[in-house]
């Protein structure tokens, strides 16, 4: 052993100190802080230092790491409402420390850890109500979507992984508000971005089944091969859930692969009030879900689940001299895109074991209630406007309407920037139908109704005081 790379005599003290830093962080996340920590000159200088040739004291170095984290945007904080956040679930963080310490590689059979991953896939499938025969954990919704669409490609165009796509004209279909990872998948899988058919959405921003049917029929008449339909179960922009059952009818009638991109919204299929939105889910060929979004565990922990166990192996299995295959068993590398793969499942496994599925359903339902509450409060307020229909899940776009203001887009961008600088609530803007909206998303179990109320109060406070870049006109 090279002793210079062991913590040696400092090991126990380092662990205790790290535990104290974690305990401090967790206490700090229990309630919102009134402002963000500024990045001090000292810290800026620390972060400019060149490569250290010699080591430093471990306790002092851990404190330096703590300072960096304290001056960073942490999604674990209860009023981080930007983009689609998460929570850094405490037991999930402990699971990561444990799993990373053993540094298991799930490329090949890793004995008990391989079984744990399979068991967690089974638990996740039960939680969502999807009859998965196989699945694996990936680094994110992007990779889960690419994995599923690669399997769809091999089913629609058998042998294309060998021959390529040169003599084919594939197409995939998704809502006009599908996540960009679908376009990215089309680029990477050789379909090309022009093969993505953006299907129009209805007034609740869901894919229109009849428009989908027409697009497929037109493509078939022109010799194009439909590879997959992607239903988004919780769009990133507004949280709309495409009508999965109606899309499944169409996919079944044409024999097309149905993938459900539930990276953000799919956990809501487990909660009684929102479950009906996901009717038809069990008929999909594959689903993606990010446990690192609305199942609260730290990144990265996404999963791709498939109904037909053979499809992933047909797409990814291969023989390499250095990869042993025993008894025709697949190794994880035969059903995934990655080779070396950490034990991502451990954090979800421990989280479900410690808290139980019921606690997750309750936390998801609470986030949905917060979204409904914000929608009602904003629509009743004289200086806010909301979208025509209430949130389906936990994203609630709203706009501050400054009386007499002639440029509400610039005004709302300004309000958002002010809120980010102010630091009491962290929120991000989004463009919907060409207009700028403030777009909070509730995916954190630490967020309370009081945090929801104060979000509107702060938006109105900072939206109503001058001077603005775009002052109200008389
Ligand atoms: C619907 C949807 N799909 C896919 C993704 C991509 O997920 P990831 O960032 O984990 O790659 C997102 C991210 O927000 C999403 O909202």
Q: What is the dihedral of CA 174, 175, 180, 184, to 10 degrees?
A: 20
Query: Is 110 found in the same domain as 51?
Result: no
Query: Is 113 found in the same domain as 63?
Result: no
pLDDT tens for residues 212-265? 999 999 999 999 999 999 999 999 999 999 999 999 999 999 999 999 999 999
Query: Is 107 found in the same domain as 59?
Result: no
Strand order across the beta sheet in which 257-261 lies: 134-138, 302-306, 286-290, 257-261, 225-232, 170-175, 196-199
Mutation choice for ligand 1 from 179, 267, 293, CB with most ligand atoms inside 8 A:
179
Alpha carbon of residue 3 to chain centroid? 40
Query: Is 166 found in the same domain as 44?
Result: no
Q: Is residue 50 part of a domain?
A: yes
Q: Are 238 and 397 in contact (CB under 8 A)?
A: yes
Mutation choice for ligand 1 from 83, 86, 181, CB with most ligand atoms inside 8 A:
181
Would the CB of 181 count as within 6 Å of ligand 1? Answer: yes
Query: How confident is the model at residue 175, as a pLDDT?
Result: 98
Query: How confident is the model at residue 474, as a pLDDT?
Result: 40
Of 312, 330, 345, the one marking the end of a domain is: 345
Q: Is residue 63 part of a domain?
A: yes
pLDDT band at 467; cut points 50, 70, 90: low
Å from CA of 182 to ligand 1 middle: 10
Would the CB of 437 count as within 6 Å of ligand 1? Answer: no
Query: Is 213 found in the same domain as 328?
Result: yes
Would the CB of 344 count as within 6 Å of ligand 1? Answer: no
Q: How far apart are CA 463 and CA 436, in angstroms?
A: 14
Query: Is 277 found in the same domain as 170?
Result: yes
Query: Is 156 found in the same domain as 29?
Result: no
Q: Which residue minimizes the CA distance to atom 10 of ligand 1?
A: 140
Query: How confident is the model at residue 327, as a pLDDT?
Result: 60
Would the CB of 264 count as within 6 Å of ligand 1? Answer: yes
Query: Is 49 found in the same domain as 108?
Result: no
What whole-number percentage of the chain has pLDDT above 70?
96
Å from CA of 185 to ligand 1 middle: 12
Number of residues in the chain = 474
Q: What is the DSSP string of 99-150?
A: HHHHT--TTS--THHHHHHHHHHHHHHHHHT---SEEEEES-HHHHHHHHHH
pLDDT band at 25; cut points 50, 70, 90: very high
Mutation choice for ligand 1 from 233, 278, 290, 394, CB with most ligand atoms inside 8 A:
290
Round the average pLDDT of the chain to a whole number and report it: 95
pLDDT band at 50; cut points 50, 70, 90: very high
Sign of the Cα torsion 269, 272, 277, 281 reads positive
Query: Is 41 found in the same domain as 119?
Result: no
pLDDT tens for residues 77-129? 999 999 999 999 999 999 999 999 999 999 999 999 999 999 999 999 999 99
Query: Is 108 found in the same domain as 68?
Result: no
Å from CA of 64 to ligand 1 middle: 32
Of 74, 92, 121, the one marking the end of a domain is: 74
pLDDT band at 473; cut points 50, 70, 90: very low
In this structure, what CATH number is given to the domain that contains residue 225? 3.40.640.10
β-pair type (429-432, 435-438): antiparallel
Å from CA of 50 to ligand 1 middle: 35
Which residue in this structure is represented by tokens 């609305």?
Answer: 294
Range(s) of the domain holding residue 231? 103-345
Query: Is 275 found in the same domain as 156?
Result: yes
Q: Which residue has the higher pLDDT, 357 or 329?
A: 357
Å from CA of 155 to ligand 1 middle: 24
pLDDT band at 328; cut points 50, 70, 90: low
Query: Is 266 found in the same domain as 210?
Result: yes
Q: Average pLDDT for residues 169-178, to the nearest whole number?
A: 98
Q: Is residue 472 part of a domain?
A: no
Contacts of 439 (CB under 8 A, 6+ apart): 237, 395, 396, 397, 427, 428, 429, 430
Å from CA of 290 to ligand 1 middle: 8
Q: Which residue minimizes the CA distance to atom 5 of ligand 1?
A: 141
pLDDT tens for residues 295-312? 999 999 999 999 999 999
Q: Over 60: is that where the pLDDT of 471 sits?
A: no
Query: Measured from the CA of 299, which atom of ligand 1 is nearest?
Result: 10
Query: Measured from the CA of 300, which atom of ligand 1 is nearest?
Result: 10
Query: Measured from the CA of 140, which atom of ligand 1 is nearest?
Result: 10
Å from CA of 51 to ligand 1 middle: 35
Would the CB of 179 count as within 6 Å of ligand 1? Answer: yes
The reply to whether the predicted model has a pTM over 0.85 is yes
pLDDT tens for residues 179-215? 999 999 999 999 999 999 999 999 999 999 999 999 9
Q: Is residue 351 part of a domain?
A: no
Q: How far apart are CA 249 and CA 209, in angstroms?
A: 9
Å from CA of 181 to ligand 1 middle: 7
Structure tokens at 9: 């005599």
Q: Are 332 and 386 in contact (CB under 8 A)?
A: no
Would the CB of 142 count as within 6 Å of ligand 1? Answer: yes
407-416 as b/e: b if 16+ CB within 10 A: bbbebbbbbb
Q: Is residue 69 part of a domain?
A: yes
Least confident piece of the model among 30-44, 202-216, 289-303, 398-412: 30-44
Query: How confident is the model at residue 324, as a pLDDT?
Result: 66
Of 313, 345, 377, the one marking the end of a domain is: 345
Number of independent structural domains in the chain: 2
Would the CB of 84 count as within 6 Å of ligand 1? Answer: yes
β-pair type (286-290, 257-261): parallel
Q: Is residue 353 part of a domain?
A: no
Q: Is residue 284 part of a domain?
A: yes
Would the CB of 232 count as within 6 Å of ligand 1? Answer: yes
Q: Average pLDDT for residues 326-349, to the nearest whole number?
A: 90
Q: Is residue 214 part of a domain?
A: yes
Mutation choice for ligand 1 from 141, 182, 259, 301, CB with most ligand atoms inside 8 A:
141
């Amino acid at each position: 052993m090279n002793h210079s790379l062991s913590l040696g005599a400092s090991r126990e003290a380092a662990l205790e100190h790290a535990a104290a830093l974690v305990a401090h962080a967790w206490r700090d996340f229990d309630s919102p802080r009134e402002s963000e920590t500024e990045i001090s000159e000292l810290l800026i200088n620390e972060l400019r230092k060149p490569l250290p040739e010699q080591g430093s004291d471990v306790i002092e170095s851990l404190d330096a790491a703590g300072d960096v984290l304290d001056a960073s945007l942490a999604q674990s904080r209860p009023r981080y409402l930007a983009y689609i956040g998460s929570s850094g679930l405490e037991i999930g963080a402990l699971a990561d420390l444990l799993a990373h310490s053993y540094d298991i590689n799930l490329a090949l059979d890793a004995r008990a850890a391989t079984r744990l991953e399979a068991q967690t896939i089974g638990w996740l499938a039960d939680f969502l109500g999807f009859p998965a025969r196989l699945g694996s954990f990936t680094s994110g919704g992007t990779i889960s979507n690419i994995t599923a669409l690669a399997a769809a490609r091999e089913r629609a165009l058998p042998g294309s992984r060998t021959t390529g796509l040169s003599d084919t004209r594939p197409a995939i279909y998704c809502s006009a508000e599908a996540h960009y990872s679908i376009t990215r998948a089309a680029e990477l899988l050789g379909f090309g971005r022009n093969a993505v058919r953006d299907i129009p959405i209805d007034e609740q921003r869901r894919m229109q089944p009849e428009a989908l049917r027409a697009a497929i029929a037109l493509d078939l008449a022109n010799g194009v091969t439909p590879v997959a339909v992607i239903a988004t179960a919780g769009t990133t922009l507004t949280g709309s859930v495409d009508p999965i059952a109606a899309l499944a009818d169409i996919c079944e009638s044409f024999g097309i692969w149905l993938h459900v991109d539930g990276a953000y919204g799919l956990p809501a299929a487990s909660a009684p009030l929102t479950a009906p939105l996901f009717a038809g889910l069990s008929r999909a060929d594959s689903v993606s879900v990010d446990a690192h979004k609305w199942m609260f565990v730290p990144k990265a922990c996404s999963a791709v689940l498939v109904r037909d166990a053979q499809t992933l192996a047909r797409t990814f299995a291969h023989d390499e001299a250095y990869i042993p295959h025993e008894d025709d068993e697949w190794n994880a590398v035969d059903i995934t895109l990655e080779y070396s793969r950490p034990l991502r499942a451990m954090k979800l496994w421990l989280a479900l074991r410690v808290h139980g599925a019921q606690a997750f359903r309750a936390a998801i339902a609470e986030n949905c209630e917060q979204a409904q509450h914000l929608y009602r409060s904003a629509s009743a307020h004289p200086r806010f406007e909301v979208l025509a229909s209430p949130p389906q899940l936990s994203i609630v776009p709203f706009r501050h309407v400054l009386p007499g203001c002639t440029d509400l887009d610039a005004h709302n961008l300004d309000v958002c920037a002010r809120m980010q600088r102010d630091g009491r609530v962290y929120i991000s803007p989004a463009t919907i139908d060409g207009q700028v909206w403030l777009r909070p998303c509730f995916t954190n179990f630490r967020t309370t109704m009081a945090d929801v109320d104060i979000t509107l109060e702060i938006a109105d406070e900072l939206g109503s005081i001058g001077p603005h870049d775009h002052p109200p006109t008389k």
